[in-house]
Amino acid sequence: MDYMIQWRGDGGEVARSRKGSKKTAGGKSQAFDNVKNQLAYCGLWCGSCLVGNGTVNELAQRCRKAIVDYGVNEWGPSEVDYEALLKGLAEIGAMTPCRGCLKGGGRTDCEIRACAVSKRVSECVDCKESKGCTNVKIIGHMRRGAKRVGMKVKDRAGDRSKVLREWQDEATGSRD
C-alpha cells in the first residue's frame, strides 16, 4: 500500500492516499483520478475529500493491518470489541470511494445538486438567483464543515479550470 502524509504550510498535515488497490500509470490512485476534476455544485473540491480520494479506505486498511500484525487485540484495552472493530475496518476499507456528485455519488437527495441541475448552473456561485437562494443555509453548513476538515472549497466566482489545476498541483506535490 502506498500512503503518505503531506504537510500543509500552516504546520498541519493532510493525509494523502494513493489507494493501495490500483494505481494509474502516473502513480496516482484511480479513486483520486476519478474525482480530481470534480468541483461540486456547492463548491467543494472532490479531490480533497478523504472519502472520495480513497484515503478513508487506505487508513482503515492500514489500521486493521496494524492491529492484526502487532497483536493489539491480544494485549490492548480489554474494553474494545476487537472482532467488531476489525470487521468494521474491513468493511470501510472495502467500500467503494465516493464518485462525487457530478458522477452520481454523494447524497442522493442533495437539494443543492437538484437546484443547480434545474437552473442549469455548474456552480452555485454562477447562479443569478443567489440573493433569494433557499439553499443558502445548507450551502454554508457544507462549506464550513468541508473547510473544517481541510477540504478545498471554491466559494467565489472565477476560473474553474485554473482553481482545479492549482489544487491538483498542490495535492500531488507538482508545480509547473
- What are the phi and psi torsion angles at 61 (to 5°)? -60, -45
**Neighbouring-strand partners of residue 14:** 6
What is the pLDDT, as a whole number, of residue 174? 75
Query: Residue 147: CB partners within 8 Å, gap ≥ 6?
Result: 153
What is the pLDDT, as a whole number, of residue 176? 54
What is the pLDDT, as a whole number, of residue 29? 75
What is the pLDDT, as a whole number, of residue 172? 85
Name the burial class of residue 161, with classes exposed (0-12), middle (13-18) and buried (19+) by CB atoms within 10 angstroms of its CB: exposed
Query: Alpha-carbon distance 152 to 21, whole Å?
Result: 25
176 residues of the chain, pLDDT tens digit each: 333 333 334 444 444 333 334 544 444 578 888 899 999 999 999 999 999 999 999 999 999 999 999 999 999 999 999 999 999 999 999 998 888 888 888 888 999 999 999 999 999 988 888 788 999 999 999 999 999 999 999 988 889 999 999 999 998 887 65
What is the pLDDT, as a whole number, of residue 21? 41
What is the pLDDT, as a whole number, of residue 140? 93
Whole-prediction pTM: 0.74
In the chain, where the domains are located: 3-54+97-172
Do the beta carbons of residue 52 and residue 84 sit within 8 Å? no
Query: Alpha-carbon distance 169 to 150, whole Å?
Result: 16
Q: For the chain, what is the HEC assignment? A: CCEEEEECCCCCEEEEECCCCCECCCCCEHHHHHHCCCECCCCEEHHHCCCCCCHHHHHHHHHHHHHHHCCHHHHCCCCCCHHHHHHHHHHHHHCCCCCCHHHCCCCCCCHHHHHHHHHCCCCHHHCCCHHHCCCHHHHHHHHHHHHHCCCCECCCCCCHHHHHHHHHHHHHCCCC
Query: Alpha-carbon distance 80 to 157, whole Å?
Result: 48
